[in-house]
Chain A
Amino acid sequence: MSSITVQPDSPSVRDALSRIRNFCIIAHVDHGKSTLADRLLELTGTVSKRDMQEQLLDSMELEREKGVTIKASAVRMIYQAKDGNQYELNLIDTPGHVDFAYEVSRALNACEGALLVVDASQGIEAQTLANLYLALEAGLHIIPVINKIDLPHARPDEVAQEIGNLLGDDPQHMLRISAKEGIGIEAVLERIIQEVPSPKGDSEAPLQALIFDSHYDSYKGVIAYVRIMNGVVGLKTKLRMAATGAITEPVEIGVFTPRMTPTGHLSAGEVGYIATGLKSVRECRVGDTMLDAARPAEPLKGYKPAKPMVFASIFPTHAEDYPLLRDALEKLQLNDASLTFEPENSSALGFGFRVGFLGLFHMEIVQERLEREYNLDVVITAPSVEYEAVLTNGEVIKVDRPADMPDPSRLREMREPWMKIEIFTPAEYIGPIMELVTKRRGISESMEYLDAHRVVLKYAMPLAELIVDFYDRLKSISKGYASLDYQFDSYRPGDLVKLDILINGDPLDSMAMITHRDEAQRRGAVLCKKIKDAIPRQLFEVPIQAAIGGKIIARETKPALRKDVLAKCYGGDVTRKRKLLEKQKEGKKRMKMFGTVEIPQEAFMAMLRLED
C-alpha cells in the first residue's frame, strides 16, 4: 500500500489509516527518550502546560525517583501538521536499560517507525546499537534524532557522522534537537508525518490485535495494550486469546491520552487498550493475539516470553511477613510477566521464594518495589544463574540454586550460560577493559573502530561473571564512558563446583554457591571473613569453613566470647540489671541454632547484605 490520494472530504478507511502514525522512541539509557516524549505531548497539546511534569510517562513512583523508564508506555496524540491535515500519532516510550530490552522488542511490533535518540555528547552507545538492530529487524523506519545539542560538550557533527556511518543516512539531514530546551521538536513531528509509513491493515478483515504489554487493574482486570493489525474491536466483540483460548468480552476499550480514555472501539492501525476483565495475566499473555471469537483469524507471530536469567532467594526479615511477601510477588507479577517465583525453605532464613529476574537491575527494581510499595523488609541471597547439569545417565537438568546441584558421583558435566557482550568505549580504556574481561573468563571475539576514538569490543563471557558487579567495575575503570550490551549465546561446559559454607561443621544453606573452581578459593575466603564478622561470639570458639565436597579450602575462626559482664549495679537498681538480661535473653529466642551455635536472624541478614 503506497501513498494515498483520496478526497479529504470523503474519508475512507484507507484515508483514516493515512492519518495515523505509530512510532516508538528508542535509545541508550538516559539519552532523553522520556524527555523528548514530554515535549511531543506538550507541542501536540495532549498535556497542558499546567499538567506537565518531567518524564510524564514515567508514572511509576520508582521510575520517577530513579529517572529511569522501567515499563513501556503508550500515548495517543493529535497533531495538526503543516500540510493542513490532522494526524493521530501513537507514541510508545521504551526503557533503555538492557534488562528491559524485551519491553523494547514488544513495542517495536506495534509500530512502523522508531525515533532513535542519541545523546550529542555521548554518541552511540551499547543499547543505541542493540535497540537499533531490534528495530531494523522488526522492519521499522528509523529516524535518527541527535539530542542534547544544548550541552556545552555536545558534538552533534561527529555524532551525526557516527550515525551516518551506521545507517547510511546523510548527516546533514539529521534532526538535531534539545528535548530539554524544546529546540527542534516540531521538526521531529513533521519528520514523523513525512517518513514513518502509515499503518497497513484492513478494518474489514477479521480481528487481529497484538498484545504488546499489559497491566493489572483490580476493577477492570488485565488491561491489554494492543495494536490492532486488522479488523475492528468494539464492546460487543467476543474476544478469544489465541494462545490461551481464554474467552471474554471487553469491559472497556480506549486510548491513552495519556490517561485511559474510553472510545468504545479501536480499528485497524490503531494503538490503544482493551480492559479484558480477566483476572490473571496468564490468561492474557503479552505477545498473544486477540481474535474475534465469532470470526477467528490466524494468530500473529508472537514473541518469545522473556526468560529469567538471574535467580535469587527472597526472604522476609520477619518470618510472619511470608504471606504478605507472597501476595506482593503475585501482584508484581500481574504487571511484570517476566518475574517468576516459587516457594523455598531455608534452614537459616525460613520460608521465602526463589525468584527469577531478567537481570540485576530488574532484581534491584523488584526489591525496591517490595520494600516501598508493599512495605516489606526483605533480604535477598546472592544472585545465581541457571546452570545445566548433565548427569551420568545423559539426562540434563536445570540448576539455579546451589542446593540442587547433583552429587559429583551422578554428574558428568556442568554447563553454564555464556553471553555475547558488546562494550562501547573510548579507545583509551581498551587496556583496562580487556584486563577486566579476561579476569572474568571472557574470550575476545572482535574489536571495531566506530570512529577514530571509539571502539566496540565484542566478547563471549559467562553470565555468572557478568552478574557480580561487572557493570560497576566497567563503569569505574572507564570513568563512566563505556557502555555494555549483552545477549544470551549458549551453554558451555565449565569446571563448576558447589562451594559449601560450614559453621562449626554444619552447612549453612543460604550461603552456598556454585562457582568456577578457580574462583572458589577467593570467594570462599571472602565469605568466611564476612560470616566471621557477622556472627556474635559464642561461649566457645567457632570455626567457619568453605569447602568443596569434603575438602576445606578456606577457614576463619570466631574466637570465643571472653567477656560479658554487667557493670556496676548502682543504688540497688536490680530491675534495670534484670531487664538488660531479659532483653539479652529475648534476643536469643530469635536466634537460630546451628548445632550448638546460636546465630541471630539479623546476623544472617547482615551476611547477605554485605557486599563482596
Chain B
Amino acid sequence: MNTGVYLHIPFCSARCTYCDFNTYVGLEALFAPYVRALLAEIAQYDGFPAQTLFFGGGTPSLLSPEQIGALIEAARSAFQLPPEAEITLECNPGTVNLGYLRALRACGVNRLSFGAQSAIPAELSLLGRDHNWHTVVQAVQNAREAGFEHVNLDLIFGLPHQSLCDWEHTLHAVLRLEPDHLSLYALTLEPGTPLHQQVRRGQLPSPDPDLTADMYEMAEALLGEAGFEHYEISNWCRPGKACQHNLIYWRNEPYVGLGAGAHGFDLRRRYWRVRHPAEYVARVERGQTTEAGDEPISEPLARGETMMLGLRLLQEGVSQDRFRARFGAPIEAFFAAELAEGTRRGLIEVTEQCVRLTPRGRFVSNQVMQWFIPDVAAVA
C-alpha cells in the first residue's frame, strides 16, 4: 500500500467561471506566511513514509521556485520520499515561462499538470480562463525543453454552445502537443458559480447530456487511436504514464492532506482542514490544530468506498487480491447481489483478477457505484 501527500495551494490570479474549488484571488500577501505554515505542518510528519507528492490548487505555479523547492525539500525529509517519487505540480499555462519551469525541474518537480481546458478561444473566455491556446502550446514546449517527461493536460467538455466539431478540434489540437497524460472532465455546473447562474437564468443553454455523452465517446475513440490507454473514467495516459498519486486515491489507499481545505485519509478516518488560508496560517502560528472536521470510516463504509473508487479504474478495476488482503474476504462475500445485478445488466464485469465497469457501465458509473455505498441510515 502506498501513501500520498497532497499540498493545497489555495491561490489564483483570477477566478474561473465554473470553479468552486477552495481557492482565493488577491491573497498574494499570504503566500509567504502560508508557505511557512505548510513547512511547519510538514515538519510534524517527520518519519511518516510516503511515496508521492502532489501540489494541487488553486494555482501552485503562483509560488516561486524557491518556495516550491523549500516545500519539496521539507516533504522529502519528513515523508522519506524515495528519490524517484512522483512529484506533480498543477500549473496555469499563463503563469510559467521556460526559466520558471527549468527551476521547477531543478528542485525536483517531475510531473506537470496544465489546466488547458480548451483550444477554442470562445470557450476559454466562457470559462473565464486568463490564457489562450498559444500559451498552452508554448507552455508544453517549454516543459519539454525544461526536461519534463510527464506532462498532463486538463480539458473540459460539455460546455454551453460547444459542438461535437469544436470538441474534435480541441482534441486534435491537444494530441498534436503529444502529452503523456490527459484528464477530461465533463462540465458540472456547481451552484454558486457564475456559469451556473447564467445557465439558470437562461442566459446560456444548459449542456445537453446526450451531446456530452457523444463527446466522451469521441474522446475515447480518438485518444484510443492515438495510443492512449483509458485507465480511469476521466483519465487517459500513454503506457506507463499513469498518475501514481491519483492511483492512491482510486485504490482507496491513505494520503496526507496539508494546507487550507485539504483532505487526508489514514484508512480509519478522513479529515479536512480549515478552508480559509488566513485561518489556516493563524492556527498553525498559534500552534492549534488545522483540522476542521473528520469522519470515521467504518469497515462497511471503507468497503463501499473501495468499490466506488476502484470502479473508476477501467482496466485495473477493484483488485480481487487487494480487496481480500484488506477486508479478509472476497468482494462477492459482501456484494453478491450487486455484482449479480451489475453483470445481469451488462454494467459490470467480474473476472478472476478484478471487478470493473463494462464500456456501457462507464457512462453511468454513478448508477452502479451507488449500489455499493451503504445506506446513510445503516452507517449513522
A562 near B210: Cβ-Cβ < 8 Å:
yes
Binds A, one of B181-189, B279-287, B318-326: B181-189
Q: Please determine whether B308 and A575 come into contact, CB atoms closer than 8 angstroms.
A: no
Across the interface, which residues of A come within 8 angstroms of B295, CB to CB?
575
Minimum C-beta distance from B290 to chain A (A):
15
Query: Is B376 touching A568 in the complex (CB atoms < 8 A)?
Result: no
Name the distance in Å between A540's Cβ and chain B's nearest Cβ. 8
Residues of A within 8 Å of B21, CB to CB, are: 570
The 8 A CB mask of A582-612 against B (1 = contact, 0 = none) is: 1011101000000000000000000000000
Complex contact A568–B185 (CB within 8 A): yes
Q: A578-B305, A581-B373 are in contact. Are A571 and B367 (CB under 8 A)?
A: no
Interface membership of A574, Cβ < 8 A: yes
- Which A residues touch B272, using CB under 8 A? 573, 575
A581 touches B308 (CB 8 A): yes
CB-CB under 8 A from B367, the residues of chain A are: 539, 561, 564
Does residue B136 face the partner (Cβ distance < 8 Å to A)? no
The reply on B135 being an interface residue by CB < 8 A is no
User: How distant is the Cα of A575 from the Cα of B265 in the complex, in angstroms?
Assistant: 10
Chain A residue numbers with a CB within 8 Å of B255 are 572
**A578 to B302 Cα, complex, angstroms:** 11
- Complex CA gap A569/B312 in Å reads 11
Interface residues of B in 222-278 (CB under 8 A from A): 233-234, 249, 252, 255, 257, 261-265, 270, 272
Partner of B364, one of A539, A568, A575: A539
With contacts A572-B249, A582-B373 taken as known, whether A563 is within 8 angstroms of B186 at the C-beta atoms is yes
Question: A572 touching B209 by the CB < 8 A rule?
Answer: no
Q: What distance in Å separates the Cβ of B306 from its nearest Cβ neighbour in chain A?
A: 10
The answer to whether B375 has its CB under 8 Å from any CB of chain A is yes
Nearest CB in chain B to that of A586: its residue: B376
Chain A hits for B263, CB < 8 A: 571-575
B31 / chain A contacts, CB cutoff of 8 Å: none
Contacts of A318 in B (CB 8 A): none
Which residues of B from 354 to 374 have beta carbons under 8 Å from A? Answer: 362-367, 369-370, 373
Provided the pairs A539-B347, A578-B373 are in contact, do residues A571 and B366 lie with their beta carbons within 8 angstroms? no
Interface centre among A564, A569, A572 (most CB of B within 10 A): A572
User: Contacts of B209 on A, CB cut-off 8 Å?
Assistant: 562-563
Interface contact B262-A571, CB-CB below 8 Å: yes
Q: Nearest residue in A to B22 (C-beta to C-beta)?
A: A571
What count of chain B residues pass the 8 Å CB interface test?
A: 47
Q: Mark B323-340, 1 if CB is under 8 A from A, else 0.
A: 000000000000000000
Cα–Cα distance between A582 and B366 once the two chains are bound (Å): 10
Are A585 and B186 within 8 A (Cβ)? no
Report chain B residues within 8 Å CB of A575. 263, 270, 272, 295
B374 nearest in chain A by CB position: A582
B281 CB → nearest A CB, Å: 18
Asked whether A1 is an interface residue with its Cβ less than 8 Å from the other chain, the reply is no
Q: Which of A563, A571, A586 makes the CB contact (< 8 A) with B363?
A: A563
Give the complex CA separation of A564 and B188 in angstroms.
Answer: 11
**Which A residue sits closest to B4, measured CB to CB?**
A572
Q: Is the CB of A563 within 8 A of B373?
A: no
* Nearest neighbor of A562 in chain B, beta-carbon distance: B213
Docked pose: A564 CA to B213 CA in angstroms: 9
Residue of B186, B270, B309, B367 with most chain A CB atoms under a 10 A cut-off: B367
A566 CB–B CB distance under 8 Å: yes
Neighbouring A residues of B261 by C-beta, 8 Å: 571
Chain B contacts with A in 144-199, Cβ cutoff 8 A: 183, 185-188
- Minimum CB–CB distance from B252 to chain A (whole Å) comes to 8
* A572 vs chain B, min Cβ distance (A): 4
**Which residues on the B side are within 8 Å of A559 (C-beta)?**
210
A562 touches B363 (CB 8 A): yes
Asked if B201 is at the interface (CB within 8 A of a chain A CB), the reply is: no
Q: Given the complex, which residues of A lie within 8 Å of B264, measured CB to CB?
A: 572
Q: Is the CB of B210 within 8 A of A565?
A: no
Give Cα A51 to B373, complex, Å: 64
Q: Chain A residues with Cβ under 8 A from B365's Cβ?
A: 564-566
Q: Is there a chain A Cβ closer than 8 Å to B56's Cβ?
A: yes
Whether the pair A566, B305 counts as a contact (CB closer than 8 A) is no
- Chain A residue nearest to B248 (CB atoms) is A572
Q: Size of chain A's interface in residues, with CB distance under 8 A?
A: 26
**In the complex the two chains form, is B364's CB within 8 Å of A564's CB?**
yes
C-alpha gap A278/B176 in the complex (Å):
89
Q: In the complex, A567→B186 CA distance in Å? A: 6
Could you tell me if B364 and A561 are in contact, using CB atoms closer than 8 angstroms? yes
A566 touches B366 (CB 8 A): yes
- Say whether A578 contacts B186, CB under 8 Å: no
The answer to whether the Cβ of A412 comes within 8 Å of any Cβ in the partner chain is no
Q: Judge if A473 is at the interface, Cβ distance under 8 Å.
A: no
A residues near B270, Cβ cutoff 8 Å: 574-575
Q: B residues within 8 A CB of A578? A: 304-305, 308, 373
**B186: which A residues are within 8 A, CB to CB?**
563, 565, 567
User: What is the minimal beta-carbon distance from B235 to any residue of chain A, in angstroms?
Assistant: 10
Is A581 a contact partner of B216 (Cβ separation < 8 A)? Answer: no
Give B309's nearest chain A residue, CB to CB: A574
A575 to chain B, nearest CB (A): 6
Distance (Å) between the CB of B99 and the closest chain A CB?
A: 29
Verify A581–B188 contact, CB threshold 8 A: no
Shortest beta-carbon distance from A223 to chain B in Å: 49
Q: Does B59 contact A (CB under 8 A)?
A: no
Asked if A577 CB lies within 8 Å of chain B CBs, one says: yes
Chain B residues in 8 Å Cβ range of A561: 364, 367
B56–A570 touching, CB < 8 Å: yes
Contact B370 A565 (CB under 8 A): no
Q: Which residues of A have CB within 8 Å of B234?
A: 565, 567-568
* B6, CB-defined interface residue at 8 Å: yes
Is A574 a contact of B305 with CB atoms below 8 Å?
Answer: yes
Q: How far does the alpha carbon of A581 sit from the alpha carbon of B365 in the complex, in Å?
A: 10
Complex: A584 Cα to B308 Cα, angstroms: 14
Given A563-B364, A565-B362, are A572 and B265 neighbors across the interface (CB < 8 Å)?
yes
Minimum C-beta distance from B190 to chain A (A): 9
Q: How far is the CA of A588 from the CA of B263 in the complex (A)?
A: 29
Cβ of B364 and Cβ of A585 under 8 Å apart? no
For residue B79, give the distance in angstroms from its CB to the closest CB of chain A.
Answer: 16
Chain B residues contacting A568 (CB-CB under 8 Å) are 183, 185, 234
Tell me, yes or no, whether B111 is within 8 Å of chain A by CB: no
A294 to B348, CA, bound (A): 85
Interface string of B60-100 (1 = CB under 8 A from A): 00000000000000000000000000000000000000000
> Which residues of the partner chain B approach A585 to less than 8 Å between Cβ atoms?
370, 373, 375
**Residue pair B363, A565 in contact (C-beta under 8 Å):** yes
Q: Could you give 25 example pairs across A and B, Cβ below 8 Å?
A: A561-B364, A562-B213, A562-B364, A563-B186, A563-B216, A565-B216, A565-B362, A565-B363, A565-B365, A567-B186, A567-B188, A568-B185, A569-B249, A570-B56, A572-B249, A574-B252, A574-B263, A574-B305, A578-B305, A578-B308, A578-B373, A580-B366, A581-B369, A582-B376, A585-B370
Given A562-B209, A563-B210, A563-B212: 14 more A-B contacts, CB < 8 Å: A562-B363, A564-B364, A564-B366, A569-B309, A570-B56, A571-B261, A572-B255, A572-B263, A573-B272, A574-B309, A578-B373, A581-B366, A584-B366, A584-B370
6 interchain residue pairs of minimum CB distance: A562-B213, A563-B213, A585-B370, A564-B366, A581-B370, A572-B263
